[in-house]
Amino acid sequence: MPVRNIPKNYRNVTGIAAHNKAQGQAMFESTLERDLITLLQFDPLVDTFEVQPLMIEWHDGEKLRTYTPDVLVYYTQPRQPTTLFEVKYRSDLKELWPVLKPKFKAARHYAKGKDWKFKLITEKEIRNPYLDNAKFLISFVNKGPSSEMDMDVLDDAIRKLEHSTPRQLLGSIYIDEWNQAKLLPTLWHLIGTRQIATDLTQKLTMASPIWRLNA
């Protein structure tokens, strides 16, 4: 559970995001934090995450200070260390760096003592075509495929073609647009769950290259 409550904020957007990978409530204080949470939920290598999970204390030579990082992330791969994330706009880093620097130094020291990593990220790393694709695909991932039969039909088609596009793949199965449209949500589900591959760092369209894994 978060170590402190997130108050309503009239400067930024605050709220709670519903995600099944979150331990406790996935609260956010800004749209940038909300976007990071979306990426964590969409990332297949993320096992679970916790928002504002702990409070770090340190002495600055005058008094005891505290700092609460934004998110703690646990991964499914042992080689990927547990990571404390701090999310900041680049403009805030520039304006507040003298205040923020000792907090981040304390967080790095704390993370190192736990064999974790501390990672500072900004809108440059978060807001890109990958995020747009994650926002689009995540509802299809959560909803699941329309049917097992649709999954089998699409899997058979991509195995035959090996490399295709969403438009070409659907067209190879059905001529009429109605049946193609019925298959589309399941195709997005397969792409979102990485059962059919594409380059998610590029904007996903009906003309995007897709391919069978291990082709």
Q: Which two tokens stand for residue 130?
A: 């990958």
pLDDT tens, the chain, 215 aa long: 455 444 434 334 444 344 678 776 556 578 999 999 999 999 999 999 999 989 999 888 889 999 999 999 999 998 999 999 999 999 999 999 999 999 999 999 999 999 999 999 999 999 999 999 999 999 999 999 999 999 999 999 999 999 999 999 999 999 999 999 999 999 999 999 999 999 999 999 999 999 998 75
The reported pLDDT for the residue numbered 164 is 98
| Furthest C-alpha separation in the chain | 74
65 phi, psi to nearest 5 deg: -115, 155
For the chain, count helices (H), then strands (E): 7, 11
CB burial of residue 80 (10 Å; 0-12, 13-18, 19+): middle
Amino acid present at 185: P
97 phi, psi to nearest 5 deg: -55, -45
Of 5, 81, 13, 82, nearest to 49 by C-alpha is: 82
In whole angstroms, give the CA distance from residue 169 to residue 149.
16
Q: State the DSSP code for 22.
A: B
Tell me which of 3.30.70.100, 3.90.1150.10, 3.40.50.10950, 3.40.1350.10 is the CATH number of domain 15-126.
3.40.1350.10
Amino acid present at 32: L
The reported pLDDT for the residue numbered 156 is 97
- Residues 20-58: tens digit of each pLDDT: 787 765 565 789 999 999 999 999 999 999 999 899 998
The reported pLDDT for the residue numbered 59 is 86
